[in-house]
Amino acid sequence: MQNPAVIPTELNAALVEIQKAAAELYRFTDKLTLLKMVHRVAVKIIQAVDLVQTELKKSDSREEALDALESSISVLFLEEVVDADTMSELEDYILSFAKQLDDEDLIRFLSEIMDKVEIKYNTLLEKTHEFNALLKNELE
């Protein structure tokens, strides 16, 4: 069993926050074909956080935990996801789809859905960015 003092509390809390935000985005986009791009990102983030938490449970010391985080492919993915432009890609996709429609109400509805997805996605990115900043501070 892992010693809770091994991993800084802030990092654990940040991982939990990422997981919550990703789960919320996952639930919101689940089984919605037009939003599958964002849904996939949520799935990948959930998997990455699970892998990071598994890696950390194996650590017997703070140094070992930080080394595991520093060399983790999952942590690298969490760093890269902040820089990805998934929402722009999704907006382009939805706009190209909406241009084919001739229904103002449906276009407005799609815009409202996009706004909600963007809020949830930005929350997820914010939590991920906070984790990345905390980790960077720990590693310095």
Q: What is the DSSP letter of 3?
A: -
CA angle 96, 24, 29 (to 5 degrees): 30
For residue 116, which phi and psi values (nearest 5 degrees)?
A: -65, -40
Question: Which amino acid would we find at residue 104?
Answer: E
Residue-by-residue pLDDT tens, the chain, 140 positions = 444 556 778 899 999 999 999 999 999 999 999 999 999 999 999 999 999 999 888 888 888 989 999 999 999 999 999 888 888 898 888 888 877 887 888 888 988 999 999 999 999 999 999 999 999 998 88
Element spanning 107, H or E: helix 104-139
Provide the residue ranges of all domains of the chain, joining segments of one domain with +: 9-84+119-135
d(CA 52, CA 87): 25
pTM of the model: 0.88
CATH class of 9-84+119-135: mainly alpha
Q: Are 107 and 97 in contact (CB under 8 A)?
A: no
84 near 131, Cβ under 8 Å?
no
Tell me what pLDDT residue 96 has: 84
Count of Cβ atoms closer than 10 Å to residue 26 Cβ: 19
Instruction: Tell me how far apart the alpha carbons of residues 50 and 14 are, in angstroms, rounded to a whole number.
Output: 13
